[in-house]
Structure 1
Amino acid sequence: MSTRIMIVGAGPVGMVCALALGQKGFEVTVVEREGGPVMDQRAASIHPTTLEMLGALGVAETMIGKGLVAPKYQYHDRVTGEIVAEFDLSTMGDEFRYPFVLQYEQYKFTNDVSTCYADQFGIAVRFSTEVTSVVQHADRVELTLVSNGEETRHVVDYLIGADGGRSLVRKSQDIAFEGFTYDERFVKIATRFDFGAHRQDYAYRNYFSDPNEWCNLFKVRGEDGLGLWRAIFPTRIGETEDDALSHAGIQERLQKFFPKTGDYEIAYSAVYAVNQRVAETFRKGRVLLAGDSAHVNNPIGGMGMNGGIHDAINLCSKLVQVIQGADDSLLDLYSRQRRKAAVDFVQAQTIQNKRLLEEQDLTVRNAHLHALHEAAADPERARAFMRRASLADSLKAAASVT
């Protein structure tokens, strides 16, 4: 009898799990409560370390052809208008197979795997299907699914929860989600205005430090391939969601940072809460967590989706070994390794990134920006910075855990 594996959540992490297991010939079913790939506009940056993993799965080249190659990223001081530091991943070609960040929206990633590769490897992807209960036994996991109003029951050997920060899979196992929620929320605004044409010194990935209101600015291709620039800001104290998303509120934010004649054309906008949380364990028996169900963080640095894909690759390599006869303590090792990566690197780095951009103490702020400038100017320190920012250090540290 073949091993049955169900993955809850058809985002990038769930689909990488499915692809990694499907290519090994395992029976995999992915269930997703949404009706299709969700046009979630949050994650869009794929780091060199992640691209190498996707290359090993045979999907990186296709994605690179559809995305924007971004070897450089910049830190700006909005107060002075200066570019404080620029880091160029193309100098890391001796360490990274893909020495750049790929700007490629996560909903396109999900669609690629579900439409281009699922049939090839016998992966069943069931959209509009919600998990309503999970009961674990010593030798199996029983689930109740609801699709089109019809309730069905299923039994699997292993269950992977890749179902986001509010994960039902994690909650079903009473796994604590430790951490905090930021007081402010984040505002995301996408515009068709081409910042690159008007500011040719901008990279595709930009971080603006400002003691009053920081900003991230990135370029993606968008749905039509013509290009969108995404800006992320924090909400202000006492600001309502309606105020933040009003026409006046959106235009005021963009004009403050990037003044121009006339209004900006807005493609979409959204406000969302941001957390820094990590599950107390990524494994309980036959139930395993990966991606946002295991850890969530602020998006500064683009580490959430990347860390989740790193979870998926680590988990699936160990799960294959366990199914083939290795001791299932390997799955505990998965939890220890990837939890260390989440806590010591993804959480620590994203919290530090936010503090760098929002620092209000003038002396501390100037010291941070000076250190960043000095790091970018020194080739060895710049390489060390890019290793950490690309999560290469996190992979090395995780692999050292036994």
Structure 2
Amino acid sequence: MERTTCLIVGGGPAGMFLGLLLARGGIEVTVLEKHGDFLRDFRGDTVHPTTLDLIDALGLGEDFAKLPQRRLDTVQIPIGGRMEPLASFSHLPGRHKYVAMVPQWDLLDLLARVGDAEPAFRLRMNTEAVDLVRENSVVAGVRYRTKDGATGEIRADLTVACDGRSSVLRAAAGLSVRDWPTPFDAWWFRIPRNTTDPAGLVPVVSAHRMVVMFDRGDFWQSATLIAKGSDAELRARHPVAEIMRSLAAVVPWLADRTDALGSWGEVKLLNVKLDRLDRWYTDGLLCIGDAAHAMSPIGGVGINLAVQDAIATARILAPKLLSHTVTTADLARVQHRRMLPTVVIQGMQRLAHTQIVRPAVGGRLNVSNSRETPVALKIFRRIPVIRSLPAFLVARGVIPEPVPDFARRA
């Protein structure tokens, strides 16, 4: 049996940032990651301004700048064969007026290297948490299984579940989940990008397809929305080339890439969920990030929200972890701090599902095929307050968390 002060399950952005923050506060921390590396394609690759601020505060700005990346500072939408500006991040407060598109594995590798330099930080790859360990009804750690089949236990003063929307730990704890129906799933795929293509983020809304294209330099990381649960039927009924043909019909500069997808194996399914735990904790266990609140991909804010959860967790709990006096009331403080941002963002996503996504998936929203700019879009572009609010909430979030002084290296 092994022991640590704080055991973090899940080596995604929330888990890795939390581990580094706590280790810099002198707290013994172990992060468990079930995979042998961080190489997963079509994971969220957006790094928002508040996370960029955190990276700077940790003294990692120069190292981060060396990672391959693109900066998204504009949103354009095709209308009637022409590109029209929709939004810009140039008006945002702070130093970072853009969203960085960085392969998530590169960011996590950077955090792993930096964490390895901290005496209190330990990362264990190929180690999957399979159940909770309890003592007198209190969570006291986890049981794990390694890739080679070995099993064991790690005990901890506090276990933090950062293991995503299908969290094994929140299920094992029996925490109640409130979920909302989502009208869509998403197909992720890549489209080659030419130097003559527009830059930034390009949403496409036509009678046949709603697609969001993220500029990744030499390719577009793209997501097309499909009706919930229709994946198998659509794959059986249509050739994969139909995706690109329908896109090129409304985005003329893609006409030379209608053969970009050669097989359905290049198209990955994201099962979209939107849910939230009623209570993010029980004695000895705290859930944050997607384990506490699975977010829709609308706005690409899930990672940003999870990282902000990690900052709040480190700031609120570090003193108690140092003195080994964490209580359930302390865990409740984390949820109280992070509940408002979660509710606001999920509320906006539910509104977008109803007003934009459901009509688009049903073919009732047809912006890109329109010959004239829709009136609603004109109003959105011309009234600064209306235009600025969505960009601000996506880029800066609600209640950005201050980085604790003990973790700063700037």
TM-score relative to the length of structure 1:
0.84
- CA spacing shift, 1:334–1:81, aligned 2, 3 Å: farther
* Partner SS state of residue 321, structure 1: helix
Question: Aligned-pair RMSD on alpha carbons?
Answer: 3.1
Aligned partner of 2:11 in structure 1 is 10
Instruction: Specify which of 101, 104, 113 is matched with residue 103 of structure 1.
Output: 101
Mapping for residues 295-310 of structure 1, pairs under 5 Å? 295-310=293-308
Deviations 1:120-155 (A, max 9, x none): 454211111111220334676132111121111221
Contact 2:139-2:159 within 8 A present in 1 as well: no
Contact 1:74-1:87 within 8 A present in 2 as well: yes
Look up the equivalent residue of 2:192 and give its one-letter code: R
Tell me the distance in 2 between the aligned counterparts of 1:231 and 1:332. 38
Deviations 1:39-66 (A, max 9, x none): 2413011111221122222234422332
1:255 equivalent in alignment to 2:251 = no
Aligned partner of 1:208 in structure 2 is 204
Tell me the distance in 2 between the aligned counterparts of 1:369 and 1:278. 35
Deviations 1:212-266 (A, max 9, x none): 4211000225xxxxx3211111225855264489543444354345441354445
Tell me the distance in 1 between the aligned counterparts of 2:308 and 2:222. 26
* Partner SS state of residue 142, structure 1: strand
Tell me the distance in 2 between the aligned counterparts of 1:251 and 1:336. 45
Aligned partner of 1:186 in structure 2 is 186
- CA spacing shift, 1:103–1:31, aligned 2, 3 Å: same
- CA spacing shift, 1:88–1:65, aligned 2, 3 Å: farther
Aligned partner of 2:275 in structure 1 is 277
Mapping for residues 70-149 of structure 1, pairs under 5 Å? 70-76=71-77, 78=79, 80-83=80-83, 85-92=85-92, 95-137=93-135, 141-147=140-146, 148-149=148-149
- CA spacing shift, 1:205–1:252, aligned 2, 3 Å: same
1:217 equivalent in alignment to 2:213 = yes
* Partner SS state of residue 392, structure 2: helix
- CA spacing shift, 1:36–1:105, aligned 2, 3 Å: same
Aligned partner of 2:313 in structure 1 is 315
Deviation at 1:310, TM superposition (A): 0.7
Mapping for residues 355-394 of structure 1, pairs under 5 Å? 355-357=355-357, 359=359, 370-394=375-399
Aligned partner of 1:37 in structure 2 is 38
Deviation at 1:301, TM superposition (A): 1.2
Tell me the distance in 1 between the aligned counterparts of 2:226 and 2:49. 31
Greater Cα shift, 376-385 or 235-244: 235-244
Deviation at 1:82, TM superposition (A): 4.9
Aligned partner of 2:291 in structure 1 is 293
Greater Cα shift, 26-35 or 373-382: 373-382
* Partner SS state of residue 297, structure 1: coil
Deviations 1:258-288 (A, max 9, x none): 4413544459431121011111122222211
Greater Cα shift, 234-243 or 356-365: 356-365
- CA spacing shift, 1:321–1:370, aligned 2, 3 Å: farther
Poorly superposed stretches of 4+, deviation over 6 Å: 362-366
Mapping for residues 60-71 of structure 1, pairs under 5 Å? 60-71=61-72
Tell me the distance in 2 between the aligned counterparts of 1:131 and 1:305. 22
Tell me the distance in 1 between the aligned counterparts of 2:81 and 2:359. 16
Tell me the distance in 2 between the aligned counterparts of 1:363 and 1:130. 45
Greater Cα shift, 302-311 or 38-47: 38-47
Tell me the distance in 1 between the aligned counterparts of 2:74 and 2:385. 17
Deviations 1:186-217 (A, max 9, x none): 111112232xx233xx3321222335421100
1:352 equivalent in alignment to 2:333 = no
Tell me the distance in 1 between the aligned counterparts of 2:114 and 2:209. 42
Look up the equivalent residue of 1:66 and give its one-letter code: L
Tell me the distance in 1 between the aligned counterparts of 2:12 and 2:154. 21
TM-score relative to the length of structure 2:
0.82
Aligned pairs, how many? 381
Mapping for residues 235-250 of structure 1, pairs under 5 Å? 235=226, 238=230, 240=232, 242-243=235-236, 247-250=240-243
Greater Cα shift, 63-72 or 143-152: 63-72
Tell me the distance in 1 between the aligned counterparts of 2:100 and 2:314. 23
Deviations 1:157-208 (A, max 9, x none): 11010001110111111112221353542111112232xx233xx3321222
Instruction: Specify which of 218, 228, 234 is matched with residue 219 of structure 2.
Output: 228
Greater Cα shift, 59-68 or 261-270: 261-270
Deviation at 1:107, TM superposition (A): 2.0
Tell me the distance in 2 between the aligned counterparts of 1:103 and 1:7. 26
Where do 5+ consecutive residues of structure 1 fail to align?
A: 222-226, 397-402
Tell me the distance in 1 between the aligned counterparts of 2:141 and 2:400. 33
| Percentage identity across paired residues of the two chains | 19
Contact 2:241-2:261 within 8 A present in 1 as well: no
Where do 5+ consecutive residues of structure 2 fail to align?
A: 402-410
Contact 2:4-2:30 within 8 A present in 1 as well: no
* Partner SS state of residue 25, structure 2: coil
Contact 1:63-1:104 within 8 A present in 2 as well: no
Greater Cα shift, 119-128 or 274-283: 119-128
